[in-house]
């Protein structure tokens, strides 16, 4: 019978309830309630979406900065970015500057929404001396291919009469020329790693406008306008910069922001979970581990698509380490995760309870769920 001497706990945040780090601590408490002498390694994770900023800042012992930027409809808002402890890497979630959650339903209009604030927050990080950027681009309210961001960074975008383009996705219909003469010179020494978890091309039936436009407030007429505008953008980029973005997988992410990062900042697009797991050095922490415990707010059929628990489980599977998952709830087709390396999963709820009550007691419930899971594992070990 193999003893459990070392456990890695690696959950992501339980959205709206508990941070990844606090979930780690709760899991560690649950382990100690059963295996007092077991070594517990803590490694909070994220998938490039909500919670990525806090997770990477906490793990690296960095800090969070606040600054005022232009919101998605041109209004001033306060936003945040993360400075990792290495003193070189800034972590930005574009949703905090140009996100759908910043707008009410009647404010959503991708024809006019802008990523200008994202460019402003990049400038603030540059002002603080940061030259390496990790940027999550999920949850956007925009469809401007990063044009607003580029303008904030000093890129000139002009129509055929030499007039500067206005904000929003529709303005790209009139794009005629791109000028880098006034771009911030510090960007030449900067690198951009973009957490991009969709493979949509820039245009067409599977492109940014058709697939994600409706949730941003676009009807069929607006979708066609936006798709044509992005097509013009892609053609101008290829003609003037020699960069093909129209059909590149991921170029359609965040309303074409993926394409904008490729065109304006020579960025690298990569799945968010791969970026985060690399940054937290989780593979190194698997050495000598007998069991991995991961988790998130909801485990369901979506979990298998580049979510952190599956990323953790697949790495553990590489070293033949069993992995179990703890979730706030188990949703539709959650058993699909068993084919992706999560051998067992369980919910933290112990009976009928509201989301509010579960969130309020998340730490205790996570600890108890881990404790009971380990007791089941012990029973199985004793039967062998």
Examine residue 306 and state whether it is found in any structural domain, yes or no.
Answer: yes
**Same-domain check for residues 122 and 264:** yes
**Same-domain check for residues 100 and 171:** yes
**Same-domain check for residues 310 and 376:** yes
Q: How far apart are CA 314 and CA 292, in angstroms?
A: 11
Distance of CA 295 to the CA centre of its chain: 16
Q: How far apart are CA 227 and CA 13, in angstroms?
A: 35
Q: Which pLDDT score is estimated for 350?
A: 80
Q: Which pLDDT score is estimated for 384?
A: 60
Q: Which pLDDT score is estimated for 1?
A: 46
**Same-domain check for residues 76 and 156:** yes
**Same-domain check for residues 15 and 106:** no
**Same-domain check for residues 22 and 107:** no
Residue pair 31/22 in contact (Cβ under 8 Å)? The answer is no
Residues (pLDDT < 50) of the chain are: 1
**Same-domain check for residues 309 and 352:** yes
Q: Which pLDDT score is estimated for 302?
A: 86
**Same-domain check for residues 208 and 312:** no
Q: Which residues contact 45 (CB under 8 A, 6 or more apart)?
A: 10, 11, 12, 20, 55, 273, 276, 277, 280, 282, 294, 308, 311, 312
**Same-domain check for residues 255 and 371:** no
CA angle 270, 276, 278 (to 5 degrees): 90
Residue 20: which domain range? 6-45+293-383
CATH code assigned at 98: 3.90.1510.10
Residue finishing a domain among 273, 301, 333 = 273
CATH code assigned at 318: 3.40.50.10350
pLDDT digits (tens, 9 = 90+) for 91-142: 999 999 999 999 999 999 999 999 999 999 999 999 999 999 999 998 999 9
**Same-domain check for residues 162 and 266:** yes
Instruction: For residue 99, report the phi and psi dihedrals to the nearest 5 degrees.
Output: -90, 155
Q: How far apart are CA 328 and CA 362, in angstroms?
A: 8
**Same-domain check for residues 258 and 123:** yes
pLDDT digits (tens, 9 = 90+) for 264-274: 999 999 999 99
Q: Which pLDDT score is estimated for 380?
A: 76
Nearest by Cα to 174 from 117, 109, 233, 87: 233
pLDDT digits (tens, 9 = 90+) for 8-47: 999 999 987 899 999 999 999 999 999 999 999 999 999 8
At residue 95, the 3 state secondary structure works out as helix
Examine residue 284 and state whether it is found in any structural domain, yes or no.
Answer: no
Examine residue 279 and state whether it is found in any structural domain, yes or no.
Answer: no
**Same-domain check for residues 156 and 305:** no
Task: Specify the number of domains making up the chain.
Answer: 2
* Cross-strand partners of 140: 99
Examine residue 337 and state whether it is found in any structural domain, yes or no.
Answer: yes
């Amino acid at each position: 019978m193999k003893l459990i001497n070392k456990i890695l706990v690696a959950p992501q945040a339980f959205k709206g309830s508990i941070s990844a780090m606090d979930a780690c601590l709760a899991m560690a408490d649950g382990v100690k309630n059963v295996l007092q002498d077991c070594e517990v390694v803590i490694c909070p994770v994220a998938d490039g979406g909500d919670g990525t900023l806090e997770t990477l800042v906490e793990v690296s012992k960095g800090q969070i900065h606040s600054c005022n930027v232009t919101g998605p409809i041109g209004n001033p808002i306060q936003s945040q970015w993360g400075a990792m402890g290495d003193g070189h890497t800034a972590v930005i979630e574009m949703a905090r500057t140009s996100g759908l959650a910043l707008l009410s339903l009647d404010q959503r209009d991708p024809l006019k929404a802008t990523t200008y604030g994202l460019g402003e927050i990049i400038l603030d990080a540059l002002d603080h001396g940061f030259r390496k950027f990790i940027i999550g681009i999920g949850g956007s309210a925009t469809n401007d291919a990063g044009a607003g961001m580029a303008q904030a960074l000093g890129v000139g975008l002009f129509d055929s009469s030499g007039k500067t383009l206005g904000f929003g996705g529709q303005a790209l219909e009139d794009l005629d020329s791109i000028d880098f003469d006034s771009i911030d010179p510090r960007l030449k020494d900067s690198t951009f790693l973009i957490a991009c978890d969709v493979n949509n091309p820039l245009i067409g039936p599977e492109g940014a406008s058709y697939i994600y436009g409706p949730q941003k407030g676009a009807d069929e007429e607006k979708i066609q306008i936006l798709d044509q505008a992005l097509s013009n953008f892609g053609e101008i980029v290829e003609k003037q910069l020699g960069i093909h973005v129209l059909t590149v997988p991921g170029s359609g992410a965040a309303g074409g922001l993926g394409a904008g990062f490729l065109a304006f900042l020579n960025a690298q697009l990569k799945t968010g979970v791969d970026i985060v797991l690399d940054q937290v050095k989780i593979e190194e922490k698997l050495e000598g581990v007998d069991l991995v415990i991961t988790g998130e707010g909801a485990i369901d059929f979506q979990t298998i698509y580049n979510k952190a628990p599956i990323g953790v489980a697949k790495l553990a599977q590489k070293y033949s380490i069993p992995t179990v998952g703890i979730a706030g709830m188990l949703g539709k087709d959650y058993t699909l995760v068993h084919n992706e390396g999560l051998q067992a999963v369980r919910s933290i709820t112990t009976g009928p309870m509201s989301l509010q009550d579960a969130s309020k007691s998340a730490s205790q419930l996570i600890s108890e769920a881990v404790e009971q899971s380990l007791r089941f594992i012990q029973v199985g070990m004793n039967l062998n």
